[in-house]
């Protein structure tokens, strides 16, 4: 909590420096805090035009905030300690273990450095692909545009330098669309899944015919299947609801409709880039998008939301209850009751925070309900998509949305655990109480 808060405040101070803004431009403290929070929380909402407001120095500050927020406090701190050859203590290793939900303390520092290496490689591939579009269009400045948008896409930040309309000008550009889709999906899977896939695909030493090493874990299987289902479901819903909408998919041919629908489905995984203005979508589509944004990406990655695994386990628990089963089983494996209770806590607390802060924003902003709930869901899930409300926020509204982005990045359940960190001295067990539910 303190790491993200300190980073957001420091970023706001740096963005307010005269060297951070272009000549003739200025930024007040609320806008600086909003943009800094959005960057470090890898959300993408902005009350100012990023490309027109900030100088090269300001854009570098934003890039560092995005990279810092994407890697996470624990990973970033460990990388810095390793680079300065500082000793990694046992408490540091336990933090890393907790952050990535690992079963061992062995090789954690090595794994963290591998995360940095993989991040730089994947972002480099994305920047190279972007350069085929941005360099011909912007000249040498296209190199910086390629790097910035690759980092922003990989970290699911959704912040762009293109004038405030995101990628709407590139709705029919195959390179921009599929490079962004690639960066969003690979980062949203989560770093532990990378190692699972690489381990499975790497042949065993001495094995004939390149035999695969071992099967993937239940976690990796859930992440991959849930991600594929949500992407396809989002694409199908967008095609179904928007295929004849003259403001969205209507003017496009079928290849364009499919590509735009796929991009919209993927960006809902907390990425925040857009090739179609969000205010142009029909209410039915927006309601479906609220669900996809709230779910978000997968654990231990750069995405936000309550996470795919959380939702899958809750659904498995619901079906187990309906069928009268004692245990919750997923892919022929039993899920611990403690894990199910944590899933319930995450979803319940996140939804409660979303409702309370949305009511608060409606009270001070008095804006359209759909625009407001879309903005707030986007903020708490660190998505960054908006139906045009961000630029019209009042000072109080900016603070509320900034708080929502912050809570969404650290996780509302983290906040709850901080205020409930003291365990009771005695573990008291009470007699059963009979209640009626349903």
Per-residue confidence in pLDDT tens, the chain, 438 aa: 777 888 899 999 999 999 999 988 889 999 999 999 999 988 889 999 998 999 999 999 999 999 888 877 666 666 666 666 666 666 666 666 565 555 555 556 677 777 788 888 999 999 999 999 999 999 999 999 999 999 999 988 889 998 778 899 999 899 999 999 999 988 888 777 877 777 777 666 555 544 555 678 888 889 999 999 999 999 999 999 999 999 999 898 899 999 999 999 999 988 889 999 999 999 999 999 999 999 988 887 777 888 899 999 999 999 999 988 888 998 888 998 888 988 898 899 899 999 999 999 999 988 899 999 999 999 999 898 999 999 899 999 999 999 999 988 887 556 655 655 555 555 677 888 888 877
Give phi and psi for 329, each to the nearest 5. Answer: -115, 135
What's the CA gap between 221 and 242, in Å, rounded? 31
Q: Is residue 185 part of a domain?
A: yes
Range of the domain at 312: 2-203+214-416
Q: Is residue 76 part of a domain?
A: yes
Is the full-model pTM beyond 0.85? yes
Q: Is residue 383 part of a domain?
A: yes
Q: Is residue 218 part of a domain?
A: yes
What's the CA gap between 271 and 159, in Å, rounded? 9
Burial letters 159-197, b for 16+ CB under 10 A, else e? bbbbebebbeebbeeeebbebbbbbbbbbbbbbbbbbbe
What's the CA gap between 197 and 220, in Å, rounded? 8
What's the CA gap between 82 and 88, in Å, rounded? 8
Q: Is residue 351 part of a domain?
A: yes
What's the CA gap between 53 and 27, in Å, rounded? 8
Q: Is residue 429 part of a domain?
A: no
Smallest Cα–Cα separation from 401: which of 76, 30, 142? 30
Please say whether the beta carbons of 281 and 288 come within 8 A.
Answer: no
What's the CA gap between 160 and 181, in Å, rounded? 15
Domain count across the chain: 1
Q: Is residue 300 part of a domain?
A: yes
Q: Is residue 387 part of a domain?
A: yes
């Amino acid at each position: 909590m303190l790491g993200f808060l300190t980073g957001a405040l420091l970023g706001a101070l740096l963005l307010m420096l005269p060297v951070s803004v272009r000549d003739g431009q200025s930024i007040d403290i609320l806008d600086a805090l909003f943009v800094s929070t959005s960057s470090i929380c890898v959300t993408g909402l902005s009350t100012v035009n990023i490309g027109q407001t900030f100088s090269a120095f300001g854009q570098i500050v934003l890039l560092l905030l995005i990279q810092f927020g994407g890697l996470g406090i624990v990973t970033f701190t460990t990388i810095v300690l390793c680079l300065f050859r500082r000793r990694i203590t046992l408490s540091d290793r336990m933090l890393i273990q907790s952050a990535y939900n690992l079963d061992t303390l062995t090789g954690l520092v090595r794994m963290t450095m591998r995360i940095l290496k993989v991040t730089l490689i994947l972002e480099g591939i994305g920047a190279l692909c972007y350069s085929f579009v941005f360099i011909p269009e912007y000249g040498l400045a296209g190199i910086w545009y390629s790097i910035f948008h690759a980092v922003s896409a990989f970290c699911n930040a959704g912040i762009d330098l293109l004038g405030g309309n995101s990628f709407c000008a590139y709705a029919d550009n195959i390179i921009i669309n599929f490079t962004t889709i690639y960066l969003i999906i690979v980062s949203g899977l989560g770093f532990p899944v990378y190692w699972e896939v690489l381990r499975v695909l790497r042949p065993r030493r001495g094995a004939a015919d390149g035999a695969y090493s071992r099967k993937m874990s239940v976690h990796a299987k859930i992440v991959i299947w849930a991600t594929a289902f949500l992407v396809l479901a989002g694409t199908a819903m967008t095609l179904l609801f928007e295929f004849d909408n003259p403001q969205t998919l209507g003017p496009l041919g079928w290849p364009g409709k499919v590509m735009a629908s796929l991009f919209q489905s993927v960006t809902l995984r907390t990425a925040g880039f857009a090739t179609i203005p969000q205010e142009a979508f029909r209410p039915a589509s927006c309601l479906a998008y609220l669900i996809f944004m709230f779910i978000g990406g997968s654990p231990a990655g750069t995405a936000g939301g309550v996470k795919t695994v959380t939702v899958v386990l809750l659904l498995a628990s619901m079906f187990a209850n309906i069928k009268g089963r004692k245990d919750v089983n997923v892919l022929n494996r039993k899920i611990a009751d403690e894990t199910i209770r944590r899933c319930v806590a995450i979803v319940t607390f996140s939804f409660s925070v979303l409702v309370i802060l949305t009511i608060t924003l409606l009270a001070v902003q008095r804006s359209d309900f759909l625009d407001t709930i879309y903005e707030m869901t986007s903020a708490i899930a660190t998505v960054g998509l908006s139906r045009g409300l961000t630029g019209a926020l009042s000072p109080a509204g900016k603070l509320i949305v900034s708080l929502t982005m912050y809570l969404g990045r650290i996780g509302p359940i983290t906040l709850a655990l901080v205020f409930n960190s003291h365990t009771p001295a005695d573990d008291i067990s009470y007699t059963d109480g009979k209640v009626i539910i349903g």
